[in-house]
Chain A
């Protein structure tokens, strides 16, 4: 069966490659999914808040929503699917969080200043670097100064926000020459507790973050480039008001060495080979909380070693990418609980019992031009994954629950996706189908007594889980005219063996006052539908009015609601752009959440709307271009929380901010 699929996949790809007739080649297809942040890392003109966090930035893009557990490190959700079903990479590098409670999503280990692009792919396919993703993927492209004649550049950024006494300071230095470049940045953020609408201080919402990055590039012959990246990111004293614990420190070290070759051969125009290593150490902290029933230490670490090679090329009507990638991850988390009686021995367990994952895969993609306006894009990925429990202690523990469990498990994972794209002067249309598999995450397979404060259950992994699979259909249609833009985008996922935790009454919880224990299992099926639309109208020369709306549905095999599915939500923004002035007014809100499931810890989130305004000015100074942006968020100080706010934690109330940027060109 597996062989057959393999042959069909490879055969398809081969057909695509050999069936070449026309002489033209496609350089690139500019898909809406690519979002550009700007080539200095921060685009001062186009963002209402240039020094926003990565989280705020993602949220503004509309395709990503966030699960908030505090004021920091929100978990990105693509197509209403969280990190188990989506993939987040940094410049193609796999990196996995070190916290069993998702307090440190991968996006929390970078800064906005590190990035040049966020490549959001929806659903299956489209991203060579994603693994185990069926909902979508996010590849954060790092900002690299590049090989230019531009010499030295400097930029400095400062920001202040009244709510939470939030201070932001950062700067960078870059040097570019045709044979060498370096750009290094430092960025620091610190916030006290923020205040929700109605002057309610949210305790334990403080945080502090320092980020250092350096990119080096060396061109040692015309076509050969070697590049290196190092990012060190440390967040400390991070409060998680929605959880029972905070974080003492979350440290990430991300390194890579990259070899690029251009004009490789007739068949491939460029190749890139990267080796990388990243390590994350995460320490939780309950010592600041007053009413701790039992003190505990919960450190976690995650180490990933990986490499990939990407080959890109084009032939006549084809535009193809071939990628080989392999990574090895170690995820280990432990919990030590200290009984009230100091003479009692501490209670120790592994919550991630030294979970090891080795994944090796091949990705193939071809964009084939059927006619000047019609394109066919086909991609497939085949991967082998071996995952399991390295720790004997951990294995012994899990074998209490699963006596016939083996230490390691091999999984064959694959996906295939095809799209038909139509581009004309004013109309863009895309229709696609895909099918893919994902392996269960370390928590879903091997997690041990992971407490979820959302539904108040302890979770135990299930090593016998089947791969989850998904059929996907997507459709998008866009009209682009001079002053008018409209698009509608819809995607539907029908998932088999949908993985979710279900209560097991036979098991005894461990967390004091927990409702019980849930064990991950495969539901027969589930389905998710996402629709979003956007209208943009320019008028009176300087004004643009943009309205976005989205709605989603998620259902399990008994027509019950899936957890954390967004209700109808909308954003409406009016911008004014003249010369050096850029101003914006916005309204954002959501309807009442009609579909929710108490079983998963949800309650009905009421409707809300908030409004904001900002104004920016770029000073007319030639060499250094300072720009200033001031704004206000949640003008009317509304007290609100969204469907994805953990335990209904309230969001920020009124907030005035000021951002100042100076950059030399």
Chain B
């Protein structure tokens, strides 16, 4: 018995030793840290160049977009490793302007030069109307660089984002984050739910429940068993989504508030073949 314990302790130390060593040995270059990502944009303001990436595609789309940032100091030729970055999206419409739900910017764990955050774009840009993102790089109370850039936001082919007015008259914004590349089998499904306070202020909604009912309209509204509803945990809604085959799936949604009152959506039955709010997945 004792020997087993010692063996375990030894193993833990050994693992620790190995993992420490590994980290030191394989130091990633800034290029390594964005390997496999697609660049959306790169622009220079003063001494600094901003590089924007996405892990899936090279373009911004309506709904949830996870964006990675690297910031290079052109004077030193080095990437900034301890930047205090913030951003603000703004849609310039012909008659008005508004923002959208977005996160703060955080350093990506286990990287030296990579930062990330997300936007939930609530409309696509067009020739007349555009999204502009303003970046701030500050150090203490000093603004080191402030930059603004226009970005193109495309409409997604399939619905991954839905805005609606709830039964409480609030305006809600619901965006599908994962699965990005769905597979047949069990997928983790994640989504963000925001509520509009005013045109420039959107706040995350906590402790609601998002019921899901995946259906295949082409297959007599076939559904899969053992899905779990999305529940709130640390800023994000998570559940499990089972997909029994490839093809087009409609993920019917019902949003419930923290007291399980329906905010929006209908349960699918033989008569009601779809909810008024849904996501679409095709793979």
A binds B: yes
A397 → chain B, closest Cβ, in Å? 5
- Indicate whether A513 sits within 8 Å of B220 (C-beta atoms), given known contacts A396-B184, A397-B185, A401-B225: yes
- Indicate whether A337 sits within 8 Å of B247 (C-beta atoms), given known contacts A396-B183, A397-B184: yes
User: Is there a chain B Cβ closer than 8 Å to A591's Cβ?
Assistant: no
Say yes or no: A399 contacts B185, CB within 8 Å.
yes
Residue in chain B with minimal CB distance to A336: B246
Chain A residues, CB < 8 A from B282: 344-345
Say yes or no: B220 contacts A400, CB within 8 Å.
no
From A349, A395, A514, B245 is in contact (CB under 8 Å) with: A349
Residue in chain B with minimal CB distance to A294: B218
Comparing A465-473, A504-512, A568-576, A613-621, the segment that makes contact with chain B is A504-512
Say yes or no: B220 contacts A510, CB within 8 Å.
yes
Alpha-carbon distance between A463 and B257 when the two chains are bound, in angstroms:
39
Chain B residues, CB < 8 A from A506: 225
Say yes or no: B218 contacts A344, CB within 8 Å.
yes
Chain B residues, CB < 8 A from A403: 186, 226
Chain A residues, CB < 8 A from B184: 348-349, 393, 396-397
User: Is there a chain B Cβ closer than 8 Å to A560's Cβ?
Assistant: no
* Interface hits, A331-368 → B, CB 8 Å: 337, 339-340, 344-349
User: Is there a chain A Cβ closer than 8 Å to B65's Cβ?
Assistant: no
User: Is there a chain A Cβ closer than 8 Å to B283's Cβ?
Assistant: yes
- Indicate whether A347 sits within 8 Å of B225 (C-beta atoms), given known contacts A339-B248, A399-B185, A400-B242: no
Chain A residues, CB < 8 A from B223: 508
A428 → chain B, closest Cβ, in Å? 56
0/1 string, A585-599, CB within 8 A of B gives 1: 000000000000000
Chain B residues, CB < 8 A from A509: 220, 222
Alpha-carbon distance between A399 and B240 when the two chains are bound, in angstroms:
13
Chain A residues, CB < 8 A from B15: none
Alpha-carbon distance between A21 and B137 when the two chains are bound, in angstroms:
102
In this complex, which of A395, A396, A511 has the most chain B Cβ atoms within 10 angstroms of its Cβ?
A: A396
Chain A residues, CB < 8 A from B186: 396, 399-400, 403
- Indicate whether A512 sits within 8 Å of B185 (C-beta atoms), given known contacts A348-B245, A401-B226: no
B171 → chain A, closest Cβ, in Å? 32
Chain B residues, CB < 8 A from A396: 183-186
A400 → chain B, closest Cβ, in Å? 4
Alpha-carbon distance between A349 and B249 when the two chains are bound, in angstroms:
14
Q: Residues of B within 8 Å of A, CB-based: how many?
A: 23
Chain B residues, CB < 8 A from A347: 216, 218-219, 245-248
* Interface hits, A467-517 → B, CB 8 Å: 506-514
Say yes or no: B245 contacts A339, CB within 8 Å.
no
Chain A residues, CB < 8 A from B226: 400-401, 403
A346 → chain B, closest Cβ, in Å? 7
Say yes or no: B225 contacts A346, CB within 8 Å.
no
Chain B residues, CB < 8 A from A449: 244
B271 → chain A, closest Cβ, in Å? 16
Residue in chain A with minimal CB distance to B282: A345
Residue in chain B with minimal CB distance to A506: B225
A330 → chain B, closest Cβ, in Å? 20
User: Is there a chain A Cβ closer than 8 Å to B224's Cβ?
Assistant: yes
B250 → chain A, closest Cβ, in Å? 12
Say yes or no: B220 contacts A511, CB within 8 Å.
yes
A403 → chain B, closest Cβ, in Å? 7
- Indicate whether A346 sits within 8 Å of B224 (C-beta atoms), given known contacts A337-B219, A396-B186, A399-B185: no
From A294, A400, A511, A514, B224 is in contact (CB under 8 Å) with: A400
Residue in chain A with minimal CB distance to B246: A348
Say yes or no: B219 contacts A512, CB within 8 Å.
yes
Say yes or no: B247 contacts A345, CB within 8 Å.
yes
A456 → chain B, closest Cβ, in Å? 13
Chain B residues, CB < 8 A from A400: 185-186, 224-226, 242-244
In this complex, which of A393, A395, A403, A510 has the most chain B Cβ atoms within 10 angstroms of its Cβ?
A: A510
Alpha-carbon distance between A396 and B185 when the two chains are bound, in angstroms:
4
* Interface hits, A431-466 → B, CB 8 Å: 449
Alpha-carbon distance between A403 and B226 when the two chains are bound, in angstroms:
9
Chain A residues, CB < 8 A from B221: 508
* Interface hits, A507-538 → B, CB 8 Å: 507-514
B72 → chain A, closest Cβ, in Å? 40
Say yes or no: B246 contacts A346, CB within 8 Å.
yes
From B185, B242, B244, B283, A510 is in contact (CB under 8 Å) with: B244
Chain B residues, CB < 8 A from A294: 218-219
Alpha-carbon distance between A99 and B245 when the two chains are bound, in angstroms:
20
Chain B residues, CB < 8 A from A395: 185
Residue in chain B with minimal CB distance to A398: B185
A450 → chain B, closest Cβ, in Å? 13
Alpha-carbon distance between A356 and B224 when the two chains are bound, in angstroms:
25
Residue in chain A with minimal CB distance to B242: A400
Say yes or no: B247 contacts A339, CB within 8 Å.
yes
Chain B residues, CB < 8 A from A337: 218-219, 245, 247
* Interface hits, B217-236 → A, CB 8 Å: 218-226
Chain B residues, CB < 8 A from A511: 220
* Interface hits, B174-193 → A, CB 8 Å: 183-186
Residue in chain B with minimal CB distance to A349: B245
Residue in chain B with minimal CB distance to A395: B185
A447 → chain B, closest Cβ, in Å? 13
Residue in chain A with minimal CB distance to B186: A400
Chain A residues, CB < 8 A from B183: 393, 396
Chain A residues, CB < 8 A from B225: 400-401, 506-508
B216 → chain A, closest Cβ, in Å? 7
Alpha-carbon distance between A509 and B270 when the two chains are bound, in angstroms:
13
A79 → chain B, closest Cβ, in Å? 36
* Interface hits, B123-168 → A, CB 8 Å: none
Residue in chain B with minimal CB distance to A458: B222
Alpha-carbon distance between A393 and B283 when the two chains are bound, in angstroms:
14
Say yes or no: A344 contacts B185, CB within 8 Å.
no
* Interface hits, B239-265 → A, CB 8 Å: 242-248
B122 → chain A, closest Cβ, in Å? 26
B194 → chain A, closest Cβ, in Å? 30
Chain B residues, CB < 8 A from A514: 220
Say yes or no: A345 contacts B224, CB within 8 Å.
no
- Indicate whether A349 sits within 8 Å of B218 (C-beta atoms), given known contacts A396-B186, A399-B185: no
B195 → chain A, closest Cβ, in Å? 33
Alpha-carbon distance between A430 and B216 when the two chains are bound, in angstroms:
58
A291 → chain B, closest Cβ, in Å? 16
In this complex, which of B186, B216, B218, B226 has the most chain A Cβ atoms within 10 angstroms of its Cβ?
A: B218
B4 → chain A, closest Cβ, in Å? 27
Residue in chain B with minimal CB distance to A508: B223
A546 → chain B, closest Cβ, in Å? 52
Alpha-carbon distance between A396 and B248 when the two chains are bound, in angstroms:
18
Residue in chain A with minimal CB distance to B224: A400
Residue in chain A with minimal CB distance to B183: A396
0/1 string, A309-347, CB within 8 A of B gives 1: 000000000000000000000000000010110001111
B268 → chain A, closest Cβ, in Å? 10
Chain B residues, CB < 8 A from A399: 185-186
Alpha-carbon distance between A362 and B22 when the two chains are bound, in angstroms:
52
Chain A residues, CB < 8 A from B219: 294, 337, 347, 510, 512
Alpha-carbon distance between A452 and B243 when the two chains are bound, in angstroms:
22
Say yes or no: B248 contacts A344, CB within 8 Å.
yes
Residue in chain B with minimal CB distance to A344: B248
Chain B residues, CB < 8 A from A510: 216, 219-220, 222, 244-245
In this complex, which of B185, B242, B243 has the most chain A Cβ atoms within 10 angstroms of its Cβ?
A: B185
* Interface hits, A250-306 → B, CB 8 Å: 294
Q: Known contacts A397-B245, A510-B216; can you find 4 more A-B pairs with CB under 8 A?
A: A349-B184, A397-B184, A399-B186, A510-B222
Identify 22 residue pairs between A and B in the complex whose beta-carbon atoms are under 8 Å apart, listed by A's number: A294-B218, A339-B218, A344-B248, A345-B282, A346-B247, A347-B216, A347-B218, A347-B245, A347-B247, A348-B184, A348-B246, A349-B244, A396-B186, A400-B242, A400-B244, A507-B225, A508-B221, A508-B223, A510-B220, A510-B244, A512-B219, A514-B220
Among all A-B residue pairs, the 6 with the closest Cβ atoms = A396-B185, A347-B247, A349-B245, A400-B242, A508-B223, A348-B246
